[in-house]
A = this chain, B = another copy of it.
Amino acid sequence: MQEKSISKYPVPELNNLPEDIRNTMLAVQEKAGFIPNVFLTLAHRPDEFRAFFAYHDALMLRDSGLTKAEREMIVVATSGVNHCLYCVVAHGAILRIYAKNPQIADQVATHHPNADITERQKAMLDFAVKLARTPEAMTASDYQALRDHGFSEEDIWDIGAITAFFALSNRMAHLIEMKPNDEFFLMGRVPPAKKG
């Protein structure tokens, strides 16, 4: 049983959860093949769980000028500078899959300026990492750098809001010492055929 160690707090049994939360978990299990620990651990507080995932989905599933891989890059880069193991590993896996690139997550999590991504994406991550660590230091030129790369005002909101949401998420993961599922470490690193 791994459950005891995935959080400093009690991890509820699926059977004891409110139906909507249990259904959310079963749906993600159906799709991913397992239940990511962020679902299991945050379910300790159902109301916060519902708001957390509603917020996540509002940002990560919406139509956006940013691709899904770009949004995950923001998560991985800001979680990297926040030293958040859960988010680096879990969202690193998702980033590898969306970007179809087995090396990109390690690159972005460790040092995005030299990652194999576009200059536009590097500018996006410069903005995100600065907002993540020193929000009071943002200046007009930080916004202008994004506009110079063709980002719209709505794109900038997306970049900033994803950064803000994972500022919350990283702190929750640190607070409860959330552990990533074993599955995430290898996901997207090897060709699908080898996973079978």
Contact = CB atoms under 8 A, between A and B. Distances in A.
A70 interface: no
Nearest to A136: B83
Nearest to A50: B54
Interface string A15-55: 00000000000000000000000000000110110111011
A46 to B, nearest CB: 9
Give the number of times this chain occurs in the complex, counting copies. Answer: 6
A117 interface: no
A135 B176 contact: no
A165 interface: yes
Given A89-B106, A109-B110, A175 B189 contact: no
Contact of A9 (B110, B153, B175): B153
Interface in A129-149: 131-132, 135-136, 138-139
Contact of A85 (B88, B110, B131, B177): B110
B131 A175 contact: yes
Contact of A110 (B8, B88, B114): B88
Contacts of A177: 114
State the main secondary structure of chain A at its contact with B: helix
Contacts of A172: 160-161, 164
Nearest to A126: B139
A176 B164 contact: no
A169 to B, nearest CB: 8
A107 B131 CA distance: 20
Contact of A175 (B50, B161, B194): B161
Interface string A161-174: 10111011111101
A82 to B, nearest CB: 6
15 contacts: A51-B55, A55-B55, A84-B110, A85-B111, A88-B106, A106-B185, A113-B139, A131-B174, A135-B170, A135-B174, A138-B175, A167-B168, A168-B168, A186-B189, A190-B194
